[in-house]
């Protein structure tokens, strides 16, 4: 069964962005595999922190469902919060049958490399438009850069493996091509996460790595992005300059018919609506109706398109589900973050890559949420929820292995 969960985890990441709903293949396999837990002899030993994690997932589901019920939302609006409940049996499955670590790291690196190559193909050979895979450019860019960033702590794991050179090359390729895929998507919001993630990775893992290697790696990344910015007509240079121009245009002339102008006006709309229903919000349909009413009344300017969310995770939760919705969102991000942070200085060095990866997962989603309501999209929900429980199961397995190994030998070693 461990081989089954390992293959499912590999597929979840490896084909996430290169086939339609690629992440669903591994997710469905994991969910289907959880049926084996119905066997009487399947023993599940949950610690207090796992109960906390399950409670966080359940609370997000209950808060979203309660808000939907209050606002009379259609059944389809329950789909997104329900996925956080469906991942609970997957967590239980992976605690009993944890995936083999190299399948996880190999899947993440393969997914990042595949997304970068696919993005390059779309950008250069399919008309030079923004790379979007089989989703939209924002989701593609965010998930692509997340896969690349998750390869960073994998370097620490790779250094302890017998085939360390192979793994270091593979994961380094994942870092580079994950970032490249995001670049070709021209999703500016995803780029915010990179410097934050690098800083977090350094703070979490820096003392265990060679300082000169860290400095050289950071310098290389800064030089790369600096060159990409100053080179004429690169996606980064064009998009950054466009952002500046559109922001200035919005504040000078009130132009809301641009990408940045639309976002800023939607945020202003949300800030106008929130005080009227602060506790439980307006719901999705209520928000859209009220936004249209404010536009017709001349209180907000018309934008270039009608959007069902506010392009900001926190404001979207606040306006649609009120303080309860925002609290559920913050708990979803911050409680798992705290659980992983507790282990970033673990004496068991096999634990640390997964702890750092868990921290980076939450940090990236927190950054993505500044300019995109990421969890209003199916792939945003699935990537976060499943990656969270996969990382937690790997971390707990390494803790168990380390404790057992230490009790006999007094030392720790990394799992293959």
pLDDT digits (tens, 9 = 90+) for 150-159: 999 999 899 8
pTM of this structure: 0.92
Half-sphere exposure of 33 (CA within 13 A, CB side): 26
**Which of the listed residues 309, 338, 367 is the one where a domain comes to its end?**
309
How confident is the model at residue 194, as a pLDDT? 87
pLDDT at position 207 over 70 = no
- Do 86 and 31 touch, CB atoms closer than 8 A? yes
**CA–CA dist 96, 143 (Å, integer):** 28
Q: Look at the chain and report how many structural domains it folds into.
A: 2
264 and 321 both lie in a single domain: no
340 and 293 both lie in a single domain: no
221 and 256 both lie in a single domain: no
173 and 280 both lie in a single domain: no
Domain-embedded: residue 176: yes
pLDDT at position 231 over 80 = no
133 and 225 both lie in a single domain: yes
pLDDT at position 407 over 60 = no
How confident is the model at residue 215, as a pLDDT? 61
The pLDDT tens digits of the residues spanning 329-384 come to 999 999 999 999 999 988 898 999 999 999 999 999 999 999 999 999 999 999 99
100 and 176 both lie in a single domain: yes
How confident is the model at residue 41, as a pLDDT? 62
132 and 212 both lie in a single domain: yes
How would residue 130 be classed by pLDDT, with cut points 50, 70 and 90? Answer: confident
Percent of the chain topping pLDDT 70: 88
Q: Taking residues 38-47, report their average pLDDT.
A: 75
How confident is the model at residue 206, as a pLDDT? 62
- Do 175 and 148 touch, CB atoms closer than 8 A? yes
Domain-embedded: residue 293: yes
How confident is the model at residue 128, as a pLDDT? 62
61 and 201 both lie in a single domain: yes
Give the pair of three-digit tokens for residue 73: 């939302």
Percent of the chain topping pLDDT 90: 72
**Which of the listed residues 263, 287, 309 is the one where a domain comes to its end?**
309
Domain-embedded: residue 411: no
Q: Taking residues 324-329, report their average pLDDT.
A: 98
**CA–CA dist 81, 61 (Å, integer):** 5
**CA–CA dist 223, 225 (Å, integer):** 6
- Do 37 and 93 touch, CB atoms closer than 8 A? yes
Q: Please give the helix or strand (H or E) that residue 333 lies within, else none.
A: helix 313-341
How confident is the model at residue 211, as a pLDDT? 57
Domain-embedded: residue 272: yes
54 and 166 both lie in a single domain: yes
**CA–CA dist 329, 318 (Å, integer):** 10
Name the H helices within 231-282.
235-253, 259-273
Domain-embedded: residue 71: yes
108 and 188 both lie in a single domain: yes
Phi, psi angles (nearest 5°) of residue 281: 70, -165
**CA–CA dist 327, 65 (Å, integer):** 14
Q: Decide: helix, strand or coil at residue 136.
A: coil
pLDDT at position 112 over 50 = yes
- Specify the higher pLDDT residue, 382 or 125: 382
- Specify the higher pLDDT residue, 364 or 416: 364
Supply the DSSP string of 71-98, one letter for each residue: TT--GGGGHHHHHHHHHHHHHHHHHHSP
**Which of the listed residues 293, 309, 325 is the one where a domain comes to its end?**
309
143 and 175 both lie in a single domain: yes
How confident is the model at residue 413, as a pLDDT? 43
- Specify the higher pLDDT residue, 125 or 266: 266
Domain-embedded: residue 129: yes
193 and 80 both lie in a single domain: yes
Domain-embedded: residue 407: no
Domain that holds residue 263: 236-309
Q: Taking residues 266-292, report their average pLDDT.
A: 96
Domain-embedded: residue 80: yes
Beta-carbon contacts of residue 340 (< 8 Å; ≥ 6 apart): 354, 355, 356, 358, 359, 362, 391, 395
pLDDT at position 304 over 70 = yes
- Specify the higher pLDDT residue, 384 or 160: 384
pLDDT at position 237 over 80 = no
- Specify the higher pLDDT residue, 387 or 44: 387
């Amino acid at each position: 069964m461990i081989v089954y969960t390992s293959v499912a985890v590999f597929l979840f990441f490896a084909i996430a962005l290169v086939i339609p709903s690629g992440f669903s293949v591994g997710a469905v396999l994991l969910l289907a595999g959880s049926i084996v837990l119905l066997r009487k002899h399947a023993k599940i030993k949950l610690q207090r922190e796992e109960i906390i994690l399950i409670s966080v997932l359940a609370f997000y589901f209950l808060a979203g469902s309660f808000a939907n019920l209050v606002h009379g939302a259609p059944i389809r609006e329950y789909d997104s919060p329900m996925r956080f409940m469906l991942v609970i049996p997957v967590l239980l499955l992976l605690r009993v049958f944890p995936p083999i670590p190299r399948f996880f790291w190999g899947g993440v690196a393969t997914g990042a490399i595949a997304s970068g190559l696919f993005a390059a193909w779309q950008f250069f050979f399919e008309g030079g438009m923004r790379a979007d895979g089989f989703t939209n450019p924002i989701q593609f860019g965010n998930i692509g850069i997340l896969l690349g960033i998750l390869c960073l702590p994998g370097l620490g794991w790779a250094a302890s493996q017998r085939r360390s050179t192979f793994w270091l090359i593979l994961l380094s390729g994942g870092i580079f091509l994950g970032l490249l895929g995001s670049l070709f998507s021209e999703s500016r919001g995803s780029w915010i996460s990179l410097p934050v993630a690098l800083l977090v990775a350094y703070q979490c893992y820096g003392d265990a790595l060679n300082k000169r290697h860290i400095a050289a790696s950071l310098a290389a990344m800064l030089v790369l992005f600096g060159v990409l910015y100053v080179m004429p007509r690169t996606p980064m240079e064009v998009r950054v300059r466009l952002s500046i121009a559109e922001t200035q245009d919005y504040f000078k002339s009130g132009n809301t018919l641009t990408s940045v102008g639309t976002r800023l006006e939607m945020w202003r709309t949300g800030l106008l609506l929130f005080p009227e229903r602060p506790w439980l919000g307006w719901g999705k349909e209520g928000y859209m109706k009220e936004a249209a009413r404010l536009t017709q009344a001349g209180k907000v300017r018309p934008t270039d398109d009608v959007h069902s969310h506010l392009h900001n995770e926190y404001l979207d939760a606040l306006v649609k589900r009120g303080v309860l919705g925002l609290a559920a969102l913050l708990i979803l991000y911050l409680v798992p973050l705290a659980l992983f942070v507790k282990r970033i200085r673990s004496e068991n060095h096999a634990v640390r890559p997964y702890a750092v990866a868990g921290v980076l997962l939450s940090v990236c989603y927190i950054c993505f949420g500044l300019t995109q309501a990421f969890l209003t999209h199916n792939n945003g929900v699935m990537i976060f929820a499943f990656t969270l429980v996969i990382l937690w199961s790997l971390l707990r397995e390494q803790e168990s292995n380390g404790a057992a190994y230490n009790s006999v030998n007094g030392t720790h070693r990394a799992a293959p």
